[in-house]
Amino acid sequence: MGVETVQKDDLEIKLNAGFLKKFNIVVVLLIVFAIVLLKFLSVYDGGMLSHPAPYNYLAGDMFAFSTYAEFAKYENDLTVAPPYISEGEENIVITFSMIGPIISAQLSQFTGVETYDFIIHINILFIILSALIIFQFLYKIDKKLAFFSLPLALLVFKWPFLYTITWGMHVSNVNLLFVAVSLLCLAYLDKKYVFIVLGIMNGAGFLAHARETLMFNTAIALYFFARLLKEKILVNLLKQPSLIKTYLHENKTIISLKNYLFSIPIMLLMMFRYIPILSIFLHTKSAAYVYGESSNLISWMPPWLPSHVWFKDFGFYQYIIFAGAIVALFCLIFQKNRTLDIIASFAIMFMFNGFFSVLGNKTTQIRHLFPILLMPLVGLALFFIYNSLKKPLKNKSEIVFVILFVIMIYFTAANHMPSPISDYAFSDPYTWNAFTWVKNNVADNEKVLILYGDRHNQETMFYMMRKVQFRAWPEEYLKKVSTNILNSTLFTKGTILAENFRKTESGEITHDPAITTWMNETLCSYNYVYSDKLSSNSQIQKYTLAMLEKLIKENNFSVAYQNELVVVLKNNNVGGKCFEDEVLV
């Protein structure tokens, strides 16, 4: 029997065919995931890139982010707040992270799509990109580990996790991408110049939203601690200190640790403008204010919060996550794989920081991003099970892997498909058209008074008028309605979105607690009065309309703008005497 010969061309064809076979499995599974992902996303934008008003904004923080994006789009100096979000005051320092709003503003200018749309789009885009980066990181370890982790990411688009998209975690979503890139950097930190990228990402992360970056750096600490113990580096150095020279040039862990320390000055350089503001902010605020209702180092998130996340919200995934945490700890203690140590440290520390309020009560908000951050735990648990079945299955293991992935996708879609949510929960097209009119027709030095409305509890949506505004305080207004006496004097509060820091002529930043203003003023003190014409409460509607009619008849007000829902009155005699009290019949 002779040895069979194979032509070189035939061999290349067979190799290519084998490569394509493997490649096609990856592509097909990614296409399946993408189709399901698009179905999950369909509830967020109504199939449109642009909308006539802020779409699927379910809380005031979303409007605050949009206001900052508008500010970045139209103002030249991004270090001080414009008058319309600081009660008309000048030189009020912006302490808010402007990274996300600047990206939204730039995309809005480039495409012509409104900034309020890009706030939602960036939330979704950055979450997806972060999930893909973590997927790619896991793919470095094993293809199956990466795919087993992927379906969990879909849960971020279902309540209560969607809080991060529609309620107000825009800055966390932006920072999530910086954290994901930093994770990749950690895997290559022993290479030249990667520490520069890590320093930039860490600096950008602290500027975007420090909380997630702090958590990530606790994961870095755990990773290096585990490597130093497993490689017995500290023990060896105690026995033979001269080994440090060898370690600094040859040991990947020590080289990576050295480069991590080199990244810190770059991080601080990225943050240099914010450091003076941050130091004053921390000096003047109490721990209770910074951390929430409690200054305890480790404490539970207040359980009454309706938007909070508990493990039961993960459904069947909660058991896989706990199993994955055990596997991750096992890997961290006993396995020698450096990349596995990184991802195990990453998932364990985010889970620990999110489960306990290590950095204060607000820390547990990160739970809303657990479907992305805990992807590795699900992957590790299922990969461990799959590996235990691999030998008995022999040649059928690849088929079982595909079937397992499809089953996970199916059950995830069946149990966690998001329901359609309110399109215009607060700022419907009628409201937005009124905002647009005010924005385009009211002078920058004129004051707008906003009366009570059913949906005006989210006051930040009015910031998007980009005009100096004051609000009739709801509790006091409702008391007046209950008396049934028309009264022209209202208890009002100015609008301030910035913190109480003022920049002096010398450039010094000082704390000014007297910026926020509460006043008793008459309706006639304002240039414009903005009000809804309709209310679910007939008594409120009757009272408000009667008061507006009285302003028109007796106080030289005129209708400047109105539509089916909103009316805006112009005061043609600002500062004049207002109407006398009158019992509403």
3-state SS assignment for residue 528: strand
Q: Which two tokens stand for residue 159?
A: 């309540």
Give the number of other CB atoms < 10 A from CB of residue 456: 20
Is 456 inside a domain boundary?
Answer: yes
With a CB cutoff of 8 Å and minimum separation 6, the contacts of 87 are: 468, 470, 494, 495, 496, 515, 516, 517
Residue after which a domain boundary falls, among 368, 394, 416: 416
Counted residue by residue, the chain has a size of: 585
Is 245 inside a domain boundary?
Answer: yes
| Pairing, β 528-532 against β 518-522 | unpaired
Q: Assign residue 179 a region (left: φ > 0; alpha: ψ between -120 and 50; beta: otherwise).
A: alpha
Indicate the number of domains in the chain: 2
pLDDT in tens, 96-140: 777 888 888 888 888 888 888 888 888 888 999 999 999 999 998
As a dihedral over the C-alpha atoms of residue 552, residue 553, residue 555, residue 560, rounded to 10 degrees, the angle is: 20
Nearest to 350 by CA among 368, 385, 374: 374
Same domain for 483 and 374: no
Q: Which domain holds residue 472?
A: 429-583
DSSP secondary structure of 544-577: HHHHHHHHHHHS-EEEEEE-SSEEEEEESSTTPP
Given a contact cutoff of 8 angstroms between Cβ atoms, the answer to whether 524 and 577 are in contact is: yes
Distance of CA 19 to CAs 6, 137, 304, Å?
Answer: 19, 21, 54
Same domain for 398 and 455: no
Q: Is the dihedral of CA 173, 155, 184, 347 positive or negative?
A: positive
Residues of the chain with pLDDT below 70 are 1-23, 45-47, 87-88, 95, 272-307, 357-364, 393-395, 420-427, 491, 493-519, 585
pLDDT in tens, 336-353: 888 888 999 999 988 888
| Pairing, β 582-583 against β 485-486 | antiparallel
Same domain for 482 and 381: no
Same domain for 342 and 471: no
Cis peptide before 160 (omega within 30 of 0): yes
Is 349 inside a domain boundary?
Answer: yes
Same domain for 555 and 460: yes
Given a contact cutoff of 8 angstroms between Cβ atoms, the answer to whether 169 and 59 are in contact is: no
Q: Which two tokens stand for residue 204?
A: 């950008």
Distance of CA 243 to CAs 226, 240, 254, 259, Å?
Answer: 19, 6, 11, 18
Is 1 inside a domain boundary?
Answer: no
Is 90 inside a domain boundary?
Answer: no
Q: Which two tokens stand for residue 50?
A: 């642009």
Q: Is the dihedral of CA 161, 166, 170, 175 positive or negative?
A: positive
pLDDT of residue 148: 93
pLDDT of residue 6: 44
Is 92 inside a domain boundary?
Answer: no
For residue 157, which amino acid is it?
F
User: How many Å apart are CA 193 and CA 262, to the nearest integer?
Assistant: 10
For residue 139, which amino acid is it?
Y
Same domain for 457 and 325: no
Same domain for 390 and 445: no
Place of tokens 């706030």: 119
Same domain for 512 and 404: no
414 phi and psi, to 5 degrees?
-70, -35
Same domain for 498 and 376: no
Q: pTM to 2 decimals?
A: 0.81
Residue after which a domain boundary falls, among 393, 416, 439: 416
Residue after which a domain boundary falls, among 364, 393, 416: 416
Given a contact cutoff of 8 angstroms between Cβ atoms, the answer to whether 36 and 409 are in contact is: yes
pLDDT of residue 235: 78
Q: Which two tokens stand for residue 320?
A: 């896989």
Same domain for 442 and 386: no
User: How many Å apart are CA 575 and CA 376, to the nearest integer?
Assistant: 64
Is 91 inside a domain boundary?
Answer: no
pLDDT of residue 363: 67
DSSP secondary structure of 461-527: GGGGG-S-EEEE-HHHHHHHHHHTEE-SEEEEEE-B-S-SEEE-TTS-EEE-TT-S-EEEEEGGGSS
Same domain for 159 and 265: yes
Is 93 inside a domain boundary?
Answer: no
For residue 445, which amino acid is it?
N
Same domain for 264 and 172: yes
